[in-house]
Copies of this chain bind each other. A is one copy, B any other.
Amino acid sequence: MSDLLAERDAWSMANCSIARTLEIVGTRTAMLILREAFLGTRRFDDFARRIGIGEPATAARLKELTAAGLLERVPYREPGQRTRYAYQLTEKGRDFLPVLTALRQWGDTWVAGEQGRPVVARHKQCGGEVRAVLRCEEGHDVPFGESYIDAGPGLLRLEADGA
């Protein structure tokens, strides 16, 4: 457990996973599109109407999220209608659920309205509320302050100029 944080200036965050992620889902509307996708929305108009955003923003975000591989366009056909395309989550997109759960949970705790939170996620099996928690490989819950930052293989160490 070398103290990587103490030498914070000796390494770069140029390839930070958080920054990379935000380049894909860093807009408010992208997050809301994903929220809506997790709620089961699949069609263009439904995304726009349920989120309350304009069609150009809807089209732009759906295109970006599809290009990034979080959504995929799948053809569908309703009786008496022509073939259309729906947007559904890929595995890459489904894997984003912990992010949205953590965001919702934080909002429920700290910025909910007077009435309280609008929705709750529950486990189908037991009805228990679903929460995003931090846990280590060994199965321990990890409260704030009980974790440390370790170097990964992609850590960029900066040249020391005058040393």
A67 within 8 A of B: no
- Residue pair B99, A125 in contact (C-beta under 8 Å): no
A60 within 8 A of B: no
Contacting residues of chain A (31-49) with chain B, CB-CB under 8 angstroms: 31-32, 35, 39-41
- Residue pair A130, B119 in contact (C-beta under 8 Å): no
- Residue pair A102, B107 in contact (C-beta under 8 Å): no
Contacting residues of chain A (92-149) with chain B, CB-CB under 8 angstroms: 92, 94-138, 140, 142, 144, 146-149
Q: A136-B128, A140-B126 are contacts. A150–B119 as well, Cβ < 8 Å?
A: yes
- Residue pair A148, B121 in contact (C-beta under 8 Å): yes
Distance of A134 Cα from B121 Cα, bound (Å): 10
- Residue pair A123, B105 in contact (C-beta under 8 Å): no
Known: A17-B112, A96-B106, A130-B147. 13 other contacts (CB 8 A): A16-B104, A17-B118, A92-B110, A99-B99, A101-B134, A108-B152, A117-B153, A118-B154, A119-B152, A122-B150, A125-B136, A131-B134, A132-B133
